[in-house]
């Protein structure tokens, strides 16, 4: 399927400026709803979801300082140590905004398990988006949305991605990921 690059949105620009800081410090992926939105799906969102590789506190504090210097602030705390110790190390996400703006938000979390590590290992740049950063694979997004998230919005996102990538989807990879999800999340 051939598609023209879309005009850049506020979400695109916010994500790009955040990624420009993060990628200097750590491996990352953009996941969830923004993946479908970046592929032309028309639906609202106020946040972008990012998973970063698990890092030590000193490395996170360097990232934290660079985000602050680039004009970002964490909603939960103005202390990098508190963010790391009380949120990220407890597998909780934190939200960043541009100083002076309440939206959009970047929801940031550390990779918490082998499934998150696999998402980062299989990250992709997706040329159809016109955006120069890394996403979790299309197969990963479809599997999560169909297997665990399952809201109407998530199912519609998965259907949208299935249509766009109908010629290149790896159904065996989707089933492999769904199996990994069932092992991790469902009992």
Residue 60 lies in a domain: yes
Is pLDDT of 38 > 80?
Answer: yes
Domain that holds residue 52: 10-182
Residue 187 lies in a domain: no
pLDDT by residue (tens digit) across 91-102? 999 999 999 898
Terminal alpha carbon distance of the chain? 38
Residue 5 lies in a domain: no
| pLDDT score for 173 | 98
Q: What is the mean pLDDT of residues 85-89?
A: 97
What is the CA 181 to chain-centroid distance, rounded?
Answer: 17
Residue 30 lies in a domain: yes
Residue 1 lies in a domain: no
The verdict on whether omega for the bond into residue 54 sits within 30 degrees of 0, i.e. cis, is no
Is pLDDT of 109 > 80?
Answer: yes
Q: Apex CA 161: angle with CA 135 and CA 123, to 5°?
A: 20
Residue 146 lies in a domain: yes
Q: How many domains does the structure of the chain reveal?
A: 1
| pLDDT score for 186 | 64
Q: How confident is the model at residue 44 (pLDDT cuts 50, 70, 90)?
A: low
Residue 2 lies in a domain: no
Full-model pTM: 0.90
**How many whole angstroms separate alpha carbon 51 and alpha carbon 108?**
6
We report the CATH number of the domain holding residue 131 as 3.30.460
Q: What percent of the chain has pLDDT over 90?
A: 78
Question: Is the separation of the CB atoms in 97 and 60 below 8 Å?
Answer: no
Instruction: Output the CA torsion sign for 187, 90, 87, 69.
Output: negative
| pLDDT score for 4 | 45
Residue 3 lies in a domain: no
| pLDDT score for 3 | 43
pLDDT by residue (tens digit) across 7-25? 668 889 999 999 999 999 9
């Amino acid at each position: 399927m051939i598609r023209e690059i879309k005009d850049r949105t506020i979400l695109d620009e916010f994500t790009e400026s955040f990624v420009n800081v993060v990628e200097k410090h750590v491996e990352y992926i953009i996941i969830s709803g923004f993946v479908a939105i970046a592929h032309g799906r028309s639906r609202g969102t106020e946040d972008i979801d990012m998973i970063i590789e698990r890092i030590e506190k000193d490395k996170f504090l360097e990232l934290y300082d660079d985000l602050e210097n680039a004009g970002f602030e964490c909603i939960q705390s103005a202390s990098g140590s508190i963010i790391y110790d009380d949120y990220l190390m407890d597998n909780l996400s934190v939200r960043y905004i541009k100083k002076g703006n309440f939206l959009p938000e970047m929801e940031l979390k550390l990779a918490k398990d082998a499934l998150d590590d696999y998402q980062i290992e299989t990250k992709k740049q997706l040329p159809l988006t016109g955006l120069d950063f890394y996403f979790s694979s299309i197969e990963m997004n479809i599997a999560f949305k169909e297997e665990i998230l399952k809201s109407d919005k998530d199912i519609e996102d998965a259907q949208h991605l299935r249509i766009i990538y109908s010629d290149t989807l790896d159904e065996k990879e989707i089933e492999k990921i769904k199996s990994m999800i069932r092992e991790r999340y469902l009992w």
